Amino acid sequence: MADTVRTETGQPSLKRVMGPGLLLLFIVGDILGTGIYALTGQVAAQVGGVVWLPFVVAFLVALVTAFSYLELVTKYPQAAGAALYTHKAFGIHFVTFLVAFTVMSSGITSASTAARAFSANAAEVFGLGISDGIGITLIGLAFMGLVALVNHRGVGESVKANVVLTCVELTGLLIVIGVGLWALGVGEGDFSRVTEIETGDRSLVGGVIAATGLAFFAMVGFEDSVNMAEECHEPKRIFPKVLLAGLLATGLIYVLVSVSAIALVPADALSQGDTPLLQVVEAGAPGFPLGVFGVITMFAVANSALINMLMASRLVYGMSNQGVLPPLLGKVHPTRRTPTTAILFTTALAFGLITFVGAVPALGGTTALLLLGVFTVVNIAVLVLRKDEVDGDHFRTPTVLPVIGALACGFLATPWAGRPSEQYRIAGILLGIGVLLWVVTVLVQRRTGQAAPPLDPDRFTKGGPVN
């Protein structure tokens, strides 16, 4: 048997198992999920029949930012993503920590959004007779508790499993598109609605910008793929084509889904409740077994929740090992080899969000807000790192794109984009908790005379000896 390849630190290197096909499925599977399943109706509430337009704008903003990620991932084909790029660009310990904790917080808000969507679909599928309030909250809490148990038990990251999960998520969206095409063919749907504009007191531009801030949640996920760079064959060669293909595929799917949705269900009805695509299937294909589609939706959002909670707990564990969070959060279960206290910490934050926030738009919008902040930093980092020459060729994005990306993402993260103040409060509380823990850690280190080790951003995502 050949010796295991090891890095300069003596740790085994990650196994390169992903070719273009598996990487494409990983990217598509990561983008698809809770956003389009849960938030289509809320986007329609902002703009009316042109519900597809905010998804197009969100896609374009994501595409510009993706070009920045492509330059960085081919220049530094390592795990750690935004934390690595931030540290290389600015070299400030606290700034790197803040970016990593922001990514962690976005995972928790995303998982909480999924829990809420799961609850609403479960209530609909199983006829529980509840649509809001404490019943939905209790289901969401029970679901998140189950996610924590699975997380604690240890869920290996298997790209083969991701293929299955992606196919299930994609099937649900293809059903919606198929129902829309059938309705178009038999003259059942009203496709004239796709040009109707209803933005309330806002102008068209103002309404689209506000809706884009929410629709952007459906486009996030592509940034996670850079963390798989060390597990891909020839990442410098395959990443540009595969990432762009994945974004184009999901962007097209989202436009077709939103057009089908508004053609079959009016915007005012589509915006009611947390199960918009279930309404679409029911309206366009009354004979279709809604329970089947509901289960597909539940499976899709459950997968999103588990992936995000896995990521969040491993980030907390990695930051604890870096000495920027208390050592207690780095404890590993002796037999399961999972980060027990990090799982409990991230689950507790998710419980708080589900209990005291609950609403899908607020949680989904906060996820988009947090990641827009990270994307702004990444777009700036591209320009800063142009002075850092590396060996070998790498993808180089036109300079104008990261400039546009930084301005667009930065603007969409501001109140001028029509973002509700509630999202800033949620994000502020989460980041405040992180900063408080960081301050406590620094004070303890000073009192004990223990210096924090040199920062290694790769540890934020590799997570050491956990499953």
Domain ranges of the chain: 36-462
Give pLDDT tens digits for 34-52.
Answer: 778 878 888 999 999 999 9
pLDDT at 317: 84
What are the residue ranges of helices labelled H in 154-266? 159-186, 204-219, 235-264
The position carrying tokens 């198929």 is 178
pLDDT of residue 446: 83
Judge contact between 381 and 223, C-beta under 8 A. Answer: no
Query: One-letter amino acid identity for 216?
Result: F
d(CA 135, CA 271): 21
- What is residue 12's predicted lDDT score, i.e. its pLDDT? 45
Output phi, psi for 208, to 5 deg. -65, -40
Amino acid identity at 319: M
Other C-beta atoms within 10 Å of 56: how many? 16
Q: Locate 373 and state its tokens.
A: 């902040």
Place of tokens 């597909």: 296
Scan for tokens 């959004």, then name that residue: 113
Which among 167, 150, 154 is positioned nearest to 26, based on CA atoms? 167
Q: Which of 71, 61, 60 is nearest to 382 (CA)?
A: 71
C-alpha–C-alpha distance, residues 139 and 123, integer Å: 9
The CB-side HSE value for 365 (13 A sphere, CA atoms) comes to 28
* Residue written as token pair 């997380």: 151
pLDDT at 43: 92
pLDDT at 257: 94
Cβ–Cβ < 8 Å for 168, 296: yes
- 10 Å CB burial of residue 135 (0-12, 13-18, 19+) is middle
Q: Look-up: residue for tokens 């969000």? A: 353
Distance CA 450, CA 270 (A): 57
Backbone CA torsion sign across 234, 31, 399, 230: negative
Q: What is the pLDDT of residue 302?
A: 81
Q: What is the enclosing helix (H) or strand (E) of 116? A: helix 93-125
Alpha-carbon separation of residue 98 from 306, 330, 437 (angstroms): 23, 18, 12
| Beta carbons within 10 angstroms of residue 309's beta carbon | 27
Residues 378, 75: contact at Cβ < 8 Å? no
Dump pLDDT digits (tens) for 306-353: 878 887 887 888 788 777 788 888 888 777 677 889 899 999 999 999
Predicted pLDDT at 425: 94
CB 116 within 8 A of CB 351: no
Give kind and range of the element (H or E) at residue 296: helix 290-321
Amino acid at 204: L
Q: At what angle do helices 93-125 and 134-153 cross, to 10 degrees?
A: 120
CATH number, domain 36-462: 1.20.1740.10
What is the distance between the alpha carbons of residues 88 and 341, in angstroms, rounded to a whole number? 29
Instruction: Look at residue 14 in the predicted model and tell me its pLDDT.
Output: 43
Asked if 371 and 220 touch (Cβ cutoff 8 Å), the reply is yes
Torsion region of 88: left, alpha or beta (phi above 0 gives left; psi -120 to 50 gives alpha): alpha
d(CA 275, CA 153) in angstroms, rounded, equals: 31
- Measure the CA–CA gap between 55 and 286, rounded to whole angstroms: 27
List the Cα angle 288/294/296 in 5-degree steps.
Answer: 100
- Evaluate whether 326 touches 445 at the Cβ level (below 8 Å): no
The two three-digit tokens of residue 16, written as one number:
């390169």
The parts of the chain modelled with pLDDT lower than 70 are 1-18, 78-80, 129-132, 154-163, 165, 226-231, 336, 358, 450-467
Which phi and psi (to 5°) does residue 10 adopt?
90, -10
| Residue 451: φ, ψ to 5° | -85, 145
pLDDT at 458: 63
3-state secondary structure of 12: strand
Residue 31: predicted pLDDT: 84
- 330 phi and psi, to 5 degrees? -100, 10
Nearest-angstrom CA–CA distance, 304 and 290: 21
